[in-house]
Structures are given as structure tokens and as C-alpha cells.
Amino acid sequence: MTDEGTSLTGREKRTLKSLAKTMSVTVKFGRKGVTETALRELSRSLDLGGGLAKVSFGGDRELRASMAAEVEEKLGAVCIGTVGKTAAFHRPVAK
């Protein structure tokens, strides 16, 4: 779910992935799934973290994929990579 404003080149994705690798998880989505409170916190984290945030999801693989897609849709962020139950999101910071 990318549009022209949030599409990334391979080099940009690679750089963002390397930065996200050393970050700690900022938001955890659990049994309740993607809630408004968690989305608000993730949005705040993306704004304060230079447009990059790391998220932990619960549930099985299909549920994690659907939650990541929902986060992308609702926040306008791009999932730059997933490893297990952890995903990194990027959203350009408004200047």
C-alpha cells in the first residue's frame, strides 16, 4: 500500500532497515489488535523518531500480516521490513 509520496528506493529501504535493526520496540500490538490508542502512540513515535518506528505484533503469521497492512493504511506508513513478530515502519516527517 504505497503511493508516490511514500514509495522508497531499494537503497533507502536498506538504509532504514539497518537503522531499525538497532532500535528497540516502541509499540506492541497484542490480543486487542490494532487499537486507536496504539495507533496514536505509533504515530507519535514515528513523528519523534525521525519517521522510523519498530513494532511488535502478537498472533500468527496471517494476523501479523493483516495488522501490518492495517497500520500502513491508517497511518500512511510503509512497512520496510519484518523479522518474526517485529516490523519496522517508515513515514516521511513533515518539514
The residue length of the chain stands at: 95
pLDDT at 1 over 60: no
- What residues contact 48, with CB distance under 8 A and at least 6 apart? none
With contact defined as beta carbons under 8 Å apart, do 90 and 78 qualify?
A: yes
Higher local confidence (pLDDT), 8 or 57: 57
**C-alpha gyration radius of the chain:** 12
- Quote the pTM value: 0.86
Dihedrals φ, ψ of 25, to 5°? -65, 130
DSSP state of 23: S
